[in-house]
Amino acid sequence: MMERHVLVVFPHPDDETLAAGGAVALQAKQGSTVTYACFTLGQMGRNMGKPFFANRETLPEIREKELHEACAALGISDLRMMGFRDKTLEFEDPETLIGIISDLLAELKPTLLITYYPGYCVHPDHEALAAATMEAVRRLPDNARPKIYCQAFSRNHETDLGARDVLLDTSSVWENKYRAMKAHKTQTAARIEEIERALAAGGAQKEQMIAALSQENMYSYRV
């Protein structure tokens, strides 16, 4: 189902692709306007490519370029770079983050919000931003709140939350997600090698890999 406007809120370049690339590309293909609020440039990321082609000084510029390429592959038409430093969101005043997200909600009035599930997304930046996002939505009137899809990947998420209830067939956009993954080459080189081997092998291996890239499941969230 096409949404009028989709707001994607994640802290790092590649979160939009690895956590929700299929969902984002599907909405864009269906005609939704998609805004991605990316809060950092992943400056402190440990992956530098395989073989290495980045270093600590060049990584932010490279990751920003990768992000623009990934957004183009996914169909994200409105990329907002929020300007925070990687691995610092947990130390920001929560009201600062809540205020920024509240401003985005007021400006864009999205009908769908995609982010991480607070409490089940492991990284401190993920958790801080997810919590702030939900608080910003909570402060909206009931009739102004968007539908929320969340991604979770902590070890205990299925035990606590059960099975994901948002089951998306993204077979029509699997190649978009794949191209976006390739764009984030500093972070995804090993995974891309695995995908390319399976695709090149043909037969069942290729079919299985395409099937894996053709579904994306998340949780709905009610504030």
Please determine, for residue 148, whether its predicted confidence score (pLDDT) is greater than 90. Answer: yes
Q: Supply the CATH classification number for the domain 5-220.
A: 3.40.50.10320
CA 38 to chain centre: 9
Mean pLDDT score, 25-33: 97
The strand pairing partners of 169, in sequence order, are 215
Nearest CA to 80 among 37, 113, 40? 37
The counts of H helices and E strands in the chain are 9, 7
Mean pLDDT score, 104-121: 98
Please determine, for residue 174, whether its predicted confidence score (pLDDT) is greater than 80. Answer: yes
* CA separation for the pair 166, 217 (Å, rounded): 5
Sheet with 215-220: strands ordered across: 78-84, 33-40, 5-10, 112-116, 147-151, 215-220, 166-169
For residue 55, the 8-state DSSP code is -
Q: With pLDDT > 90 as the criterion, what percentage of the chain qualifies?
A: 91
Domain boundaries, the chain: 5-220
Mean pLDDT score, 184-205: 96
Whole-angstrom CA distances from 94 to 101, 103, 105, 126, 160 are: 11, 14, 16, 13, 25
